[in-house]
Structure 1
């Protein structure tokens, strides 16, 4: 989903228009990475818990329905403008499909195949490498030596966190495949949003993208999933968080940061997701966090600091 003001594609060096974009950046932008990181990381253990009671595709479809129930009255009240061109509708649909259907669908399916929250988070954290490799050709970004060093440190830190967790278990081949497909979905969404993203009212963008998610996941839930679910208090609370925290706040922040910054730098935040997800899984699921994992958190944080520009 697209949110915030549109900015021009990043170029090599510091162009005047890039400086102007930084000067006009919203005041909330410096806080956005920390808020996004917490909300996004929390989604891993929460979804891991919920998929123990509900089929992942059914859970995903229910998530979309709940989001649309929240957004439709808001849209009727605010009456936000719709996309002006057919191409703008198409860009929102593609981004929604990549994030909502591919990324979340495969991530939650990996949980259903007994992948741990830390394992899935680790695989998704490889996203910055894929984005950095593709960004020069697709969105015109130049990746310098300092930032490549940051990518390496971030990856090493993420690996240390998950390897150091004694609770990490062997994952099935299908679970690993689902996690890697989720990685491709989010990487593609990051690059696509940076190159083709259009400035739209957040309510409009969310409505289009979550409708896309519902249309594409509901048939999968009916054909391949199990429609029976145990709607206990844990499931209801998990779904409420996944709707509000992940769907309405975290993803809006993510795409707003992508639009206002460089794709490779924003995606480097994902290196901190495995440490944070492992820490939260330790608190919520009693998954171990040994001393070596804390060391990995520090190394991953240093990597992100190298990649992200000063003042963001």
Structure 2
């Protein structure tokens, strides 16, 4: 009887950890992801965008490669699996992050950029039934619509007090397409690869594509200030290692439309972070948008 009792205790402990992860993962991901917009803008005051992104990816590879080799973590065995993980890497690491860095450098505010890329849940909800055969209920559509309305109120209230460069809008749309395709492709391929292996491969793809562009298009000048180093450290550890890992976990274990709904909360959180870190103002009307976005996410995640 001792063996079954021990097995049950281990199972209960596993389930408790799993429940904690399921609750904490969306919250931690949201906070890290949303704050990243302001942190990137701080770093871009001292370094060019593609150079900054290549430096970030290089640091991630240096950290993860010894872990990958030391623990002999599994890697894809088939060419199709390699192709799938590399395509996701191009979508997220190159198109999404490249677009966001360039948009911020073009003058788009952190809050405005966060809103543009938060349109992703609408695109996912439209494409998911066609591409990955994932049904979005009418109740979830109500939540998505409410979340979009809240996010729109945040950006419209901010646009009344700040200019919005068209170059930044265009680049943010490119970034939006990258994240949308990345989430859907990850869900469609149902990759079960170890998250460290997946992050290492995808970041390496980003480094191989971004670094030559940085060398070709930018001067490579870097101001090694404490603000830039702190920004780099946050983006490497908080975004590339923790947030991306949590995003992959959420996409693999939850419907794509429900995971994407979290992005409606990014603009409010990013606006708050930008106000604290950058002094970007947030009008009173934006708080109404925060409330609507929060309600929209709750409806999308909890209703079927």
Specify if TM > 0.5: yes
Equivalent-residue separation in structure 1 for 2:33 and 2:91 (angstroms) = 17
- 8 A contact 2:199–2:244 mirrored in 1: no
Equivalent-residue separation in structure 1 for 2:73 and 2:41 (angstroms) = 35
Residue by residue over 1:209-257, the C-alpha shift from the partner in whole angstroms, topping out at 9 and shown as x without a partner, is: 1110000101110111221111110000000000000000001101110
Please state how far the C-alpha of 1:185 moved relative to its aligned partner: 0.3
- Any idea what SS the aligned residue of 1:308 has? helix
- Equivalent in the alignment of 1:72: 65
Aligned match for 2:247, one of 254, 262, 266: 254
The runs of 5 or more residues in structure 1 that have no matched partner are 1-22
2:197 is the counterpart of 1:204: yes
Aligned match for 1:289, one of 278, 282, 286: 282
- Any idea what SS the aligned residue of 2:75 has? coil
How do 1:31-46 residues align onto structure 2 when only pairs under 5 Å count? 31-46=24-39
Q: Pick which of 116-125 and 224-233 moved more.
A: 224-233
Equivalent-residue separation in structure 2 for 1:45 and 1:55 (angstroms) = 15
Larger radius of gyration: 2
- Any idea what SS the aligned residue of 1:182 has? helix
How do 1:1-150 residues align onto structure 2 when only pairs under 5 Å count? 26-27=18-19, 28-150=21-143
- Equivalent in the alignment of 1:190: 183
Residue by residue over 1:49-97, the C-alpha shift from the partner in whole angstroms, topping out at 9 and shown as x without a partner, is: 1112111100000000000111112112211112121111111100011
- Equivalent in the alignment of 2:292: 299
- Equivalent in the alignment of 2:172: 179
Please state how far the C-alpha of 1:177 moved relative to its aligned partner: 0.5
Please state how far the C-alpha of 1:307 moved relative to its aligned partner: 0.4
Distance 1:25 1:194, change over 3 A: farther
- Equivalent in the alignment of 2:209: 216
- Any idea what SS the aligned residue of 1:266 has? helix
Aligned match for 2:301, one of 291, 302, 308: 308
Equivalent-residue separation in structure 2 for 1:104 and 1:168 (angstroms) = 26
Residue by residue over 1:253-298, the C-alpha shift from the partner in whole angstroms, topping out at 9 and shown as x without a partner, is: 0111010010011001000000000011111111112321111111
Please state how far the C-alpha of 1:168 moved relative to its aligned partner: 5.0
Q: Pick which of 254-263 and 23-32 moved more.
A: 23-32
Equivalent-residue separation in structure 2 for 1:182 and 1:223 (angstroms) = 21
Aligned match for 1:279, one of 272, 279, 285: 272
Residue by residue over 1:170-201, the C-alpha shift from the partner in whole angstroms, topping out at 9 and shown as x without a partner, is: 22221111000000000000110000131111
- 8 A contact 1:156–1:299 mirrored in 2: yes
Please state how far the C-alpha of 1:203 moved relative to its aligned partner: 1.9
The runs of 5 or more residues in structure 2 that have no matched partner are 1-14
Alpha-carbon RMSD: 1.7
Q: TM-score scaled to structure 1, two decimals? A: 0.89
More helix by share: 2
